Chain A
């Protein structure tokens, strides 16, 4: 397999992991709105359903994007595809 094909394969696996995490916190947990509300786990004292919609999921997305960017930069570096300063 060529260098570029390997790079793309790794990039694609990173995409799938990122989208899986994204799916859980943007779609998955909201199938269980009522269960979250009844849950005794209450972050900062808020009902879990309320907390996830106003801070939880949103904050996780911010962290997820920065994590994704770091991972992708590592992949690009590994294959020598990072941009040079003077590009």
Chain B
């Protein structure tokens, strides 16, 4: 059926894969109509998809350095775009984003703008130049461009802090989904999630991660879009929800005022009875509800963080050319756009399904007893994601008496809107794909930086290929376990840790990376000062604000990257100018990086 090289057959291979997955969904739907239990459907969905990723991971095993570190630099433009989109869209994007929009409205949408706008910076400032450089990892660029082990180690430190913060959140998300879908305790599910992540990345490194990420993107985008279109059509809101929900958005605003949003407040005593982590609707759906500075500062942090996160940047090291790296950024953002532009639509449909008394699914205004008897209410109440209570004692459910967890918007809406359970199983598989693909990329970014930059470049430069690859794999497993162990402690929520990771990356890496290409005068001393002082000041600010510090410039614990990167920029420029200019060889190297043609700065195998 398939002849010739794998790379030449990609469209065919993934075409067959997508078709097969759709057939699987249909088979599950038939099984459901024949009476398969919802628990079994969930188990089938998650284990089938994870099994496929494991097979891809196994088939992509490799004993070559450039295949392990940069997938042999032969990933075609569009497929690299898909892989980056999966790498990028984490459990937070998939499971938590629509929920955030649902509860916080306009103020939260700064994240959408930030997480997409950052790609303009990636395409114009960094990706093509780092591809021309020919590095294996981000610290590889810093270490070679600025020279010296100190710069390399500093970059490894920033990378590890940022990516590790991020990866615990992703392993936490895989654990959450695995525990719900497979019905096992969270503390065990975390390690089940970890095992799946390691199978995908251990044998084949970047090559295996690339081809599983493409497969994961296909699953996650189908799992996100199918319910949105289905619900919209079922509700009669429009065939193409993205262009047709204006009336629904306006209707929600009407219902909000009709139900007394913002005028009826819950007492503190009443709120104390609501389970932890659940929230009611307290903000208007489409109103501008935040100050410009709050919105902009959050967006800026997410944008600069996007351009500094190593697991994203290293995806562009895998394309065949500089030109394709640049175009690939556009494709990445296009594939991300498909999901991000759907999240607000899902939030709208979800809210209207629950609120509108004219819809059969609406629960506001029904009697409390009736709502408590609904099947899906009982399920999600048991999962601790939904709660109602008759605060005013009138026997009717009011808007301020309904509480939901953020994850429920994505996970429960299909069920609420009356879609068959097979869709909920599909959504669980999608969430698992999103969290796994990001965790893969992150664990690999950390392990590669440690094995290539710390071990090979600094500790044992004479190590042979076989030994380097063994060290890389051992580190991968260690990092994975460390991440899972911390994830099992559940210190910080998924979304909070993700935002912190962006701020850490922005504090330490944004300016050293950008100035490395765009400012020839930048030298090693400046870069080290920029990375370390940026990271330290950002972290110090975070600790200060978390412990009750007042903060300044309106910078909160979600936007501390502004302080960190400002310190980073100033110290990098001042220290660079106070010390000697980089030597002629380094300046020539920067010139070389700035033109697409010719050989890469670092060799194919290094």
Contact = CB atoms under 8 A, between A and B. Distances in A.
A77 B106 CA distance: 43
| Secondary structure call for the A interface | helix
Nearest to A38: B288
A55 B341 contact: yes
B117 A65 contact: no
A61 to B, nearest CB: 5
B323 A73 contact: yes
B121 interface: yes
Contacts of B145: none
A8 B594 contact: yes
A41 interface: no
Contacts of A82: 323, 596-597
A46 B110 CA distance: 17
Nearest to B300: A27
Contacts of B327: 66, 69
A64 B120 contact: yes
Contact of A65 (B120, B290, B303): B120
Contacts of A64: 120
A61 B124 contact: no
B438 interface: no
B286 A61 contact: no
A83 B249 contact: no
Nearest 6 A/B pairs, CB to CB: A45-B246, A53-B109, A26-B117, A54-B344, A65-B330, A33-B288
- What range describes how many residues of A lie at the interface? 35 or more
Contact of A76 (B287, B290, B337, B596): B596
Interface of A: 4, 7-8, 11, 15, 18-19, 22, 25-27, 30-34, 36-37, 42, 44-47, 49-50, 53-55, 57-59, 61-62, 64-66, 68-69, 72-73, 76, 79-84, 87
B112 interface: yes
B123 interface: yes
Interface of B: 106, 109-110, 112-114, 116-117, 119-121, 123-125, 128, 242-247, 249-250, 286-288, 290, 292, 295-296, 299-300, 303, 321-323, 326-327, 329-330, 333-334, 337, 340-341, 343-345, 591, 594-599
Given A30-B113, A31-B292, A69-B330, A18 B124 contact: yes
Contacts of B322: 83
A30 B337 contact: no
Q: Which of B114, B128, B246 has the most CB of A within 10 A?
A: B246
Given A30-B296, A76-B596, A57 B337 contact: no
Given A65-B329, A66-B330, A22 B341 contact: no
A27 B121 CA distance: 13
A41 B421 CA distance: 41
Contact of A72 (B287, B326, B341, B597): B326
Contacts of B333: 61-62, 65
A22 B323 contact: no
Contact of B120 (A8, A22, A36): A22
Contact of A32 (B113, B246, B287, B292): B292
B371 to A, nearest CB: 29
B303 to A, nearest CB: 6
B341 A58 contact: yes
Contacts of B303: 26
A4 B591 CA distance: 8
- B128, B299, B597, most chain A CB atoms within 10 A: B597
